[in-house]
Every structure is written in C-alpha cells, then in structure tokens.
Amino acid sequence: MIYRLTIDCFHLTAEAEQALQQFRQDRLLGKSRIALRPGGLAAAVEHYRDNASPPLVIVEDDGDEATVLERLGHLAEVCVSGTRVLVIGHVNDIGVYRSLLSRGVSDYFVAPVTAAQLMGAVEALFSDRASAPRGRMVAFFGARGGVGSSTLAHNVAWVMAETTGEEVILLDLDLAFGTAGLAFNLEARQTVGELLGEPDRIDVQLLDRILVKYDERLKLLPSPSELRSWPPIEVEAVDKLFDLIRQLAPLVVVDLPHLWAPWVVHALEQADELVIVAQPDLPNLRDVKALLDGVGQRRGEHAPTHLVLNKQDAYKKTQLSAKDFEETLKVRPVISLPFDPIFGEVSNNGQMLGEAVKNHKLAEAIRQLALLVCRRTPAAAGRRVPAGEMLTAWLKKAKLVK
C-alpha cells in the first residue's frame, strides 16, 4: 500500500533527524508530504497555534514524564480533530509508555528510534482503509440558480490551497452547465460525466490520471458542460467517487448543481460542511428555509450547514435584509457579500479574486469563509486549561473516547 499522508516531524536530536530523513525516503511514503522541523514537541505546540495539524505528527521530547505530559496537553489544545501523535522520548520506562498511550498518544518510542520503527507505526495506524485519513468534504449549493454558488466554490477552493498549503480537489458536478474549467481556464482530460456513467471503472489510479492540475496544490475534476442527455446518476456511483476522491486529498470542494435529484440530496447530506448560497430575496428565503428544515435537519450535529448571502444590494429596492433572513431562519449568515462587478471582471480574465486583487475586502471575506469550512482556523491560543482536561478534550476530538 502506497500511503498518501501529510506528516509533520519535530526532532530535537541529530539521531532522530537522521532516522526521520531515512523514514521520509521510504518507498511506501513516495506519495506523502513529510516535513522535518527542529525544536521538538515544544516547537510543534507553537507551530500549530497558527497552522493546521496534519493527520500524523511525530514529535521528539527530552523532558521527564510530567513535562512531556504537560506539553502534550498544550499540543492537544492546538491540534485539529483526528490528528495522531507519535512520541520519541528519552525516558525508558514502561510506566511512561503506558501513561502516554492511555492518554491518546498513538505510540511511544525510546530514543534512538529507527526509520523501520516509525514505518511500522505508520502501517499499524493507516494500513486499514477504514482508518486511512479521509479528506474533508465541503459542498456548495445555491438556494436558487445564479446566486453565485459556483463562483464561491471556485474561489474558496483556490484560497484553501493557497492558505493551508494542503492539497485541494475541486469537483464540478454540474454536468450540463459547470464552469470550473472555464473559471480556471483548463481543459478537461476526461470528465465527471463519463466517470459517473461507468462507476465500475472508477478507481484511485484513474482519478489520479484525469485530475487536471491548476497548480501544485489545487486539482480539478471539471464537468463536461455539454447538453447531452446523461444517463441518470446513481447515488452509489456518486458515493464511490466521493470515497475515492477523499483518499486523494485532505480537502475536497464539491460544486453541486441547482437540481433536486436523489444523488444531489445524498451529497448535501454527506458533506462534512455544507454551504448554502442565497441571494437576499423572498424566493431564496423560502428555499433556504425548506433546505434547512429538510436536509439541514438530517445532517448530523458534527456536520455544520452555513448560510452565505451573496449579491447584496444588486436590487436595493426590493431585497430583503440579512436581518430578515436571520429572524425567519434563526440562522445567521456566516458572511454576506455585496454585488460587485469585480467578480465578472476577474472571471473574464480566468482568474480567482484572490489572484487578481489580493487585499480586496471581498477576497478577505472569502478567505474567512474558506478557513471556517476547512476547520483550519488557528486554535484559541493562550487558553489555559489543566493538562489532564486538555488531553481528555483531545481524546474526545480524536474520537478515542466517548
């Protein structure tokens, strides 16, 4: 099994650094992104105050048991949920080993560690497909056609790749009218339409081949955007596509068409984060309400649904206000964006807003939306909680205890 993992390593000693260098060159990790940094566990805590933690973090620490536990407590506070931690320590004591494992550390190695030991730990953690990390899926859906849902999906995908440095895949599922290819000025190799028509053919290798690279981090699976009559799309085919795509990148943005079909409803329910985009008028209000009452209710409590109001003030005299939406829906829009011709201007040039105008207010609002939905906001720094409590919180986040 070839692993596609993102791993951060924080070493203290030269021996550990050497073992990690060798570990990084393992053939099985050829498709993984592995960063080596000095400073050990303490540096990791500082690093994740401002950066998202990947699925696996390897840290070295030379402190005694109490120090390591305290530092791990701080690490737990700043890591995103699902992050596993391997510790290289300098205390050779079975008691320490047990105590760390019981608190959610995936494995503890007494220095000097070898590359083979580290690889063994990776295999134990990730060889099972069910435990392989799955990319976070963010779906965009317009309450009505033309509200700007695709435009926001494209821009958010671009910003995610830009600000997190992680790989992002943008999946355009608007088979007839998709615009991802146009927006990024890219030619499709094969399209989502063909794939969904023959779900048996879909596998990771095929997907890897047909994904179109926008840059090092952002890849696209464009739609055919042809007015052919596509065979009906099966929910199972879409499910398989999602499952495989999520093995290929830590972040997946799905642009859904404004359609009411079983597979679309399924996608709306399955996404980790759902962004409903609406324009501030009465039909949009009615449809957002119906969506929140239906799909929104069926989504689990850990799968948030966000409302974005777009194109405010395009029709000043007749529009509703954000307050009207909030009062009726009991949901506050996470952002409200004004109508601004700049969207059309940059799109005519095949650019994303953040590329064309870096410090624009709208670009900043989209950046905030992107950070919110990929859950990569820096954790609350400086909050002081006793180490034991923090570890428990972390275990809960990592779903290791109830």
Binding site for Mg ion (CB under 5 A): 150
Applying CB under 6 A, among 310, 319, 336, 392 the residue interacting with ligand ADP is 310
Starting at the edge strand found earlier in the chain, the sheet holding 212-213 runs: 212-213, 218-221, 168-172, 251-255, 136-142, 273-278, 305-312, 335-338
CA pair distance 56, 105, nearest whole angstrom:
11
Applying CB under 6 A, among 344, 359, 380, 384 the residue interacting with ligand ADP is 344
Whether the Cβ atoms of residue 125 and residue 332 lie closer than 8 Å to each other: no
DSSP string for residues in 125-160: HHSSGGGS---EEEEEEESSTTSSHHHHHHHHHHHH
Applying CB under 6 A, among 207, 210, 337, 391 the residue interacting with ligand ADP is 337
Whether the Cβ atoms of residue 122 and residue 32 lie closer than 8 Å to each other: no
**For residue 357, what are the CA distances in angstroms to 182, 220, 346, 350?**
19, 22, 9, 13
Contact status: 246 vs ligand ADP (CB under 6 A)? no
Looking at 6-14, 111-119, 139-147, 392-400, which segment touches ligand ADP (CB under 6 A)?
139-147
Looking at 12-20, 232-240, 334-342, 387-395, which segment touches ligand ADP (CB under 6 A)?
334-342
Q: Is 51 exposed, middle or buried (0-12, 13-18, 19+ CB in 10 A)?
A: middle
Contact status: 6 vs ligand ADP (CB under 6 A)? no
The token pair that represents 334 in the structure block:
């996470």
CA pair distance 12, 196, nearest whole angstrom:
49
Please give the residue whose beta carbon sits closest to ligand ADP in the complex.
Answer: 148
Site string for ligand ADP, 91-130 (x = CB under 6 A): ----------------------------------------
Applying CB under 6 A, among 343, 373, 392, 394 the residue interacting with ligand ADP is 343
| Pairing label, strands 56-61, 212-213 | unpaired
**Residue 311 or residue 376: which is nearer to ligand ADP going by CB?**
311
**Residue 69 or residue 372: which is nearer to ligand ADP going by CB?**
372
Looking at 8-16, 140-148, 215-223, 387-395, which segment touches ligand ADP (CB under 6 A)?
140-148
Residue 169, phi then psi, degrees to nearest 5: -115, 130
Residue 191: contacted member of ligand ADP, Mg ion, none (CB under 5 to 8 Å, by partner type): none
Cis omega (within 30 of 0) on the bond before 112?
yes
- Give every CB contact of residue 198 below 8 A, 6+ residues apart in sequence: none
Minimum distance of Mg ion from residue 180's CB (angstroms) = 9
What are the respective helix, strand and coil percentages of the chain, to the nearest 5? Answer: 45, 15, 40
CA pair distance 28, 109, nearest whole angstrom:
21
Minimum distance of Mg ion from residue 194's CB (angstroms) = 20
CA atoms within 13 A on the CB side of 334: 19
**Residue 146 or residue 294: which is nearer to ligand ADP going by CB?**
146
Contact status: 287 vs ligand ADP (CB under 6 A)? no
Residue 193: contacted member of Mg ion, ligand ADP, none (CB under 5 to 8 Å, by partner type): none
- Give every CB contact of residue 3 below 8 A, 6+ residues apart in sequence: 28, 29, 31, 32, 122, 126
Minimum distance of ligand ADP from residue 10's CB (angstroms) = 41
Contact status: 339 vs ligand ADP (CB under 6 A)? yes
Applying CB under 6 A, among 151, 155, 164, 191 the residue interacting with ligand ADP is 151
Contact status: 148 vs ligand ADP (CB under 6 A)? yes
Looking at 8-16, 28-36, 97-105, 342-350, which segment touches ligand ADP (CB under 6 A)?
342-350
Site string for ligand ADP, 359-398 (x = CB under 6 A): ----------------------------------------
Residues that bind ligand ADP (CB under 6 A): 142, 145-151, 179, 258, 310-311, 337, 339-340, 343-344, 347
